[in-house]
Structure 1
Amino acid sequence: MFRAVTLHRMLKLAAAPIALGVLSACGGGGGGVDVADGGIRGTGSSVGPVSGFGSVFVNGVKFETDGRVSSDDGIEREDQLQEGMILRIEGEWRVDGRGNAESVEYDDTFRGLVANLTQTLDADGMVESVRFTIYGQTVVADQQTVFKDIALETLADGAFVRISGWREPDPNGRYRASHIGLMTQDETNVEIEGRIDEGSLQLNLNQFSINGQSVSYTDSAFAGSLTEADLADLLLVEAEGTISNGVLIAREIDEGETRRYRRGSGDDIEFSGPVSTDYNASDRSFHINGLIVFVDDNTEFDDGLSASDLTAGMLIQVEGDFQDNGSVLAEEIEAREGNASVDGVLDVNTLNFNDQTFRVGGVLVQLTPRTIITDDDSDLRLKLADLNGSYQIEVEGIERQSGSGVALEAIKVERNEEDNGPAADRDYESQGQLTQVQGTVFTILGIDVQTTIDTQFEGTSRDELIDAFDAGQRPVLEVEYSEPTPGNFVADEIELESED
């Protein structure tokens, strides 16, 4: 399993989960949101990863489109889009979760060859995350990243990929991938972005560098109204072209990803991304995606968040209004960073299409319109019904209170190969906070797991966990367990998730 956030953030997010209730929505693309019609909630821009289709789900809204996509990266139609790709939609959205798109725009963040890849493994040797470069630009990917035609575990040096992602708060210009798709190698069709290296811009020679990658250009390479004189003032720049003798010869130069978040046809904006600067309590602001966001007494914090939880690197979603000075006043802020997970074969006869739920290893999984359902071995656009079978299911999400119990609100559901073994042979793995201790039984993600003399403890002991719980702590645990009889869960190994 992955550790997308540090332990103290996981505990903060898990400490005060909100009630889910029953969502009548469709994650992963089909069917829409089945609620009564409502009024306009926003008119302007919605920027975020695609979570489903029919037409396009972005930031929890089903946008009806005309099927056209504006892009210079070879994507012209909606049916060419893939889950996890970050879109900018101009249009309007309503309180019923539906919207109408006036335009849909997509732009790759990177295209090119993977190099210098390193893996971060968990205690069992499974890949938690990877870090690599594309022509000098650093990219990280983890279990929340959507992969197509390649997987987190198989990504390696020499793969030619397209990446859609966000710039992270790193002084060396690191990016976090939302989507990675394998492409046919073609170094006449590469793209990078980042800040121009200090002192590298030489207008008389038509060249600069980004993180050490040399870029040359002609006067005709500038997109739109952008001119060579603008280069010195750009926060981020993107360059597309051909790699020749180690130099990127740019056929097009444009502003980087910050242009996604400019004020559009209306004042409202919804967007997701990693926080760039910690929340500043003195002026009640933080930075994200090149924007300054302010909060006030009317800002609604979901997911048990508070303003002080907004620390650099945390993935969130913001809804707000542009102000006259170009800043955004937030109406609502919610977490989009996973803090819990479960992995195993879907429990038999637990698919509930009305509630959009199912169970894996006893854990209740709740889908929402923002849930991505994917299979990196398939180009199919999957829906909840496509999980019906003996598939290995990996769910990354956010731990929530659901009525009197707990649910795992799914951010991403990945369907893997079928497992046709007997149910008694099927093992599970979950990660979540310890919420109850009764003797030798630990409760994690709403299920009671029995510990025995054979249970192995990594980084802790049974007594230490009990003492921590009695002292008011809610440690985050990774538990490997089995189900010898229906509804009877026994822990094989429990590992304390430590802060990295």
Structure 2
Amino acid sequence: MERSIMKRHIRNRVIGLAAGTVAFGVISACGGAGGGGLDVADGGIRGTGSSVGPVSGFGSVFVNGVEFSTDRTVVGDDGINQESRLVVGMILRVDGEWRETGLGDAETVEYDDTLRGTMQVLSPWDVVSKTATVQILGQTVRIDSQTVVKGMTVETLDNFNDEFVRMSGWRLPNGEFRASYLGLRTQNNSDDFDSLNAVELEGNISGLTGTEFMIGSQLVNYSGATPDGLTLADLSDGNAVEVEGSLSGTTLMAQEIRPDDSRRYVQGTDDDIEFVGPVSSAYSQSTGTFTVNGITVRVTGDTEFDGLSGPADLVQRILVQVEGDFESDGSVTAEEIELREADSELEGGPAQEIDLSAGQFRVGGALVQVTPLTIITDDDEARLSLSDLALPRELEIEGIERVGSDGSIYLEALKIERDDESPDGEFELTGRISEMVNDRIQVLGVDLHISQDTDFDQISRNELQGLVDAGQRPKVEVEYEFVGTRYVIDEIELEEDDDD
């Protein structure tokens, strides 16, 4: 495999698949995608500290590619106090230790909602951009194709105006939020919520008086609030806080006030930390740093990059995972920085050639690799594993294009969503063209063929060929189907490239 896949951290994630509900059996020495070998790790201790990131699986619980064994309890006061009530996509803080095998032991598992309250849909799901925008207690929340949505679907968000939801996510540089998880309170999961009127809000204080302040457009009365991790004297305009309480008319009557979600990234009893978040301040060559979740991250000559060419790729808003050590000033020196932002997509079904031991399958000719970071979900509350994809259903897959040591291309899945619909024989993928020869175009390792009926949308065949001949790898969206003995393109269009 490529250098980034051969690195210790990634290969351990694949090996770690052998343990949980996403278990695929024992990974063999040659079980990697594309035929590249996977080295078996030695099982030593890799870190002792804190790991903060979205849940990606259970068995006990997977966070940041490590399967942590737990005592099944969860610390928190948002109605979730047992591991069985957790849902993939929820952001956890785990304190404990993790080993080279991809296994770990959790001392504590903590969950806290970022926002909780009624939802207003500002922009419904856009099938082109694959985004939507909602508000919760006046706070703007961005939803994308990597957001895990439960109790509803992203396509039907606008049917749930004024419904009660919980959101787990990250603060963006402009003060908005990016959702990792959005869950609707329904009859099936109402027990997982606090009382019907218990809401949660975080943001920056403004207009502070002796009893009230504003967070965005929401008025907060804190006259009866209990401080936690701060004192009421610490409150001042501009401070970021989290407020829990109940609504009385349009006023949030605060019962608890604590520091905002940045507290889940503070140093514990040990120096090691792994965490996920969107870049808030881009990499500065002059300081050798960037920021994520309020943490200054230091990049050195020893920092390894996975899915990123180097520190120049660390621009605002992209989602990354950082592994490193705390310094005395509260900064973190990064040992590894990994991209957690999808750059390719694949839709269609069914899953074919499922290999549980290697954690692989194919859809529409494309090879898909599952790792412990992969979230597998559906429209219901079910906890899914790779074996559940054997049902003949449509799949939507988000991931990162990878190249094996033999040059083969595959999709490392970040999120797989199993739909209720049966496959209709049509496929759609978004990825970069690696070859274009005569009537054959290769995207995500799939040979796609141009026919006389192929529709070139907003770009001609000659223009596309010119881009490839010039050494570019243009990103395209392709609709295709299997005809006879090969995949034939129905429509192809140039995809807007956010990286350019």
2:171 is the alignment partner of 1:163: no
The 3 A distance-change label for structure 1 pair 16 and 195 is farther
Distance change in 2, residues 1:233/1:158 (3 Å): closer
Instruction: Report deviation, 1:453.
Output: 2.5
Call closer, same or farther: CA 1:226–1:33 in 2, change over 3 Å. Answer: farther
Residue 313 in structure 1 maps to residue 317 in structure 2: yes
**CA distance 1:480–1:252, shift in 2 (3 Å):** same
Superposed counterparts of 1:310-389, under 5 Å: 310-348=314-352, 350-376=353-379, 378-389=380-391
Residues 374 and 413 of structure 1 are in contact (CA less than 8 Å); yes or no, is this contact kept in structure 2? yes
**Higher relative contact order at CA 8 Å, sep ≥6: structure 1 or structure 2?**
1
The alignment partner of 1:229 has SS state of helix
Residue in structure 1 matched with residue 451 of structure 2 by the alignment: 452
**1:30 paired residue number:** 22
Give distance in 2, aligned partners of 1:317 and 1:298: 16
Matched, 1:103 2:108: yes
Aligned residue type for 2:150: K
The Cα of 1:499 is off from its aligned counterpart by 4.3
Structure 2 unaligned regions, length at least 5: 27-39
Q: Distance in 1 between matches of 2:16 and 2:109?
A: 23
Change (3 A) 1:107 1:316: same
- The verdict on how the C-alpha distance between 1:251 and 1:492 changes in structure 2, with shifts beyond 3 A counting, is same
Aligned-partner SS, 1:153: helix
Normalising by structure 2, we get a TM-score of 0.90
1:222 deviates by 1.4
Q: Which amino acid aligns with 1:490?
A: V
Post-superposition shift, 1:116?
4.0
Q: Which residue of 2 aligns with 1:201?
A: 208
Preserved CA contact (<8 Å) 1:372 1:411: yes
Matched, 1:81 2:86: yes
Q: Which residue of 1 aligns with 2:491?
A: 493
Cα distance change of structure 1 residues 25 and 92 upon mapping to structure 2, 3 Å threshold: closer
Residues 205 and 237, structure 2, Cα contact 8 Å, conserved in 1: no
What amino acid is the match of 2:137? Y
Equivalent of 1:262 in 261, 266, 272: 266
Q: Which moved more, 1:19-28 or 1:96-105?
A: 19-28
The counterpart of 2:285, out of the listed 281, 286, 292, is 281
Could you say which residue in structure 2 is the equivalent of 1:192?
201
Report the secondary structure of 2:262's partner residue. Answer: helix
The whole-number CA distance in structure 1 between the counterparts of 2:230 and 2:138 is: 25
How far, CA to CA, are the matches of 2:196 and 2:208 in structure 1? 24
- 115, 123, 146: which one pairs with 2:148? 146
1:410 aligns with 2:413: yes
How far apart in 1 are the matches of 2:52 and 2:335? 16
Q: Which amino acid aligns with 1:426?
A: G
What percentage of aligned pairs have identical amino acids? 48
Q: Which of 113, 118, 127 is residue 113 of structure 1 equivalent to?
A: 118
Q: Is the 8 A contact 1:32 1:62 kept in 2?
A: no
Superposition deviation, residue 498 in structure 1: 1.3
Bigger mean CA deviation after superposition, 146-155 or 327-336: 146-155
1:18: Cα distance to partner? 5.3
Structure 1 CA distance for aligned equivalents of residues 349 and 85 of structure 2: 30
Cα offset, 1:120, TM superposition: 5.3
Alpha-carbon deviations, 1:37-85, whole Å to 9, x = none? 5111111100000000010100000101000100110001100000000
Q: Which amino acid aligns with 2:219?
A: S
Q: Are the equivalent residues in 2 in contact too, given 1:305–1:334 (CA < 8 A)?
A: no
Q: Offset of 1:87 from its aligned partner?
A: 0.2
- Give the aligned residue type for 1:399: E
Task: Describe the SS at the equivalent of 2:284.
Answer: coil
Per-residue displacement from partner, 1:300-343 (whole Å, max 9, x unpaired)?
Answer: 11124310000000000000000011100000001000000100
Q: For residue 8 of structure 1, what is the aligned residue in structure 2? A: none
Task: State how far apart, in whole Å, the 2-side matches of 1:103 and 1:459 are.
Answer: 53
CA offsets, 1:398-452, max 9 Å, x none? 01012321110000011111416xxxx5100001001101112110000011112
Maintained 8 Å contact 1:69/1:104: yes
Q: CA offset at residue 16 of structure 1? A: 9.8
> 2-side partners of 1:499 and 1:400: how far apart?
18
Cα distance change of structure 1 residues 356 and 250 upon mapping to structure 2, 3 Å threshold: same
Q: 1:29 to 1:317 in 2, by over 3 A?
A: farther
Pair 1:400–1:499, CA change in 2 (3 A): closer
Check whether the contact 2:49–2:268 (CA below 8 A) recurs between aligned residues.
yes
Which residue, 172, 181, 184 being the options, matches 1:182? 184
Quick one: distance in 2 between partners of 1:54 and 1:393? 23
Residue 219 of structure 1 contacts residue 228 of structure 1 at CA under 8 Å; is this kept in 2? Answer: no
Post-superposition Cα deviations, 1:369-424, rounded to whole Å, max 9, x if no partner, equal 11010012x2221111111021111110001012321110000011111416xxxx
**2:434 paired residue number:** 435
1:113 CA displacement: 1.2
Distance in 2 separating the partners of 1:93 and 1:16: 23
Contact 1:33/1:369, CA 8 A, preserved across alignment: no
Partners of 1:351 and 1:32 in 2: CA distance: 10
Check 1:323–1:235 CA distance in 2 against 1; reply closer, same or farther (3 A cut). farther
Partner of 1:466: 465
Report SS of the residue matched to 2:236: helix
2:30 aligns with none
Which segments of 5 or more consecutive residues in structure 1 lack a partner in the other structure? 1-14
Residue type at the aligned position of 2:205: I
Q: Is the 8 A contact 1:63 1:101 kept in 2?
A: yes
